[in-house]
Amino acid sequence: MNYKQAILVRSDLKLPKGKMAAQASHAAVESALRAEKDLMVAWRGEGMGKIVVKVADEKELYKYVQEAKDIGISTAVITDAGHTVVEPGTVTCAGIGPDTVEKIDRVIGKLKLV
């Protein structure tokens, strides 16, 4: 696998399964659409490698998003419309990439899987 995408999920929100899946999906789609076309096509062709990892809170989420931006990786921070589980406007997760495995791991290599 040469390309992958990472989804960062806030663990402090303790999102229920379905909510997490929906929010992660938002992040995946938006970050993929923001990636350079060539990267996206290559990643899609390979089977869209993806990992879902946890960050402690909003502050940590933004820290990793900034690190990704700094090296030119596409990002998408997702806020929930919030009618049910969390307050409206709550940042729930972020998509990072797709980009090369090397670049993605440089940013999120130390984070633990959800």
Q: Does position 111 bind a copy of itself by CB under 8 A?
A: no
CA distance 25 to 37: 19
Site string for a copy of itself, 40-69 (x = CB under 8 A): ----x--xx-xxx-----------------
Q: Does position 105 bind a copy of itself by CB under 8 A?
A: no
Pick 17 or 72: Cβ nearer a copy of itself: 17
Residue 49, helix vs strand vs coil: coil
Specify the pairing of strand 3-10 against strand 50-55: parallel
Pick 45 or 70: Cβ nearer a copy of itself: 45
Residues 7/50, Cβ–Cβ less than 8 Å: yes
CA distance 36 to 98: 9
Specify the pairing of strand 3-10 against strand 75-79: unpaired
Q: Does position 17 bind a copy of itself by CB under 8 A?
A: yes
To the nearest whole angstrom, how small is the minimum distance from the Cβ of residue 56 to a copy of itself?
A: 16
Q: Can you give the binding site for a copy of itself, defined by CB under 8 A?
A: 5, 7, 9, 17-18, 20-22, 24-30, 32-33, 44, 47-48, 50-52, 81, 113-114
